[in-house]
Amino acid sequence: MLILTRKVGESIAIGDGSITVSVMEVKGRQVRLGISAPANTPIHRQEIFSKIKEANQQASAAQAVDLDALSRILQSEDPDA
């Protein structure tokens, strides 16, 4: 992990410079950041990203169960019906 020190108004560039993180304000134990990135780059707080990832994994698991059930139903049908 790279650790940098920045003051209010200072920024860091990420990658090719298309993503910029700026320190907007420091108030007590909170730091307000401004993030400039291309519109197609999703930006989430870590706790939100973790919930999105978990929801996607649960949805994927549910799809696999549904497909297994559908497969069993199709296999149990009488082909002459």
- pTM exceeds 0.85 for this model: no
Quote helix, strand, coil % in the chain, to nearest 5: 40, 25, 35
Q: Is the pLDDT of residue 76 over 70?
A: yes
**CB neighbours of residue 60 within 10 Å:** 9
Residue 17 pLDDT grade (very low, low, confident, very high; cuts 50, 70, 90): very high
Q: What is the pLDDT of residues 1-15, one digit of tens each?
A: 999 999 999 999 999
pLDDT of 81: 52
Q: Is the pLDDT of residue 31 over 70?
A: yes
Rounded Cα gap, residues 17 and 48, in angstroms: 25
Residue 79 pLDDT grade (very low, low, confident, very high; cuts 50, 70, 90): low
Tell me the average pLDDT across 54-72.
Answer: 75
pLDDT of 45: 92
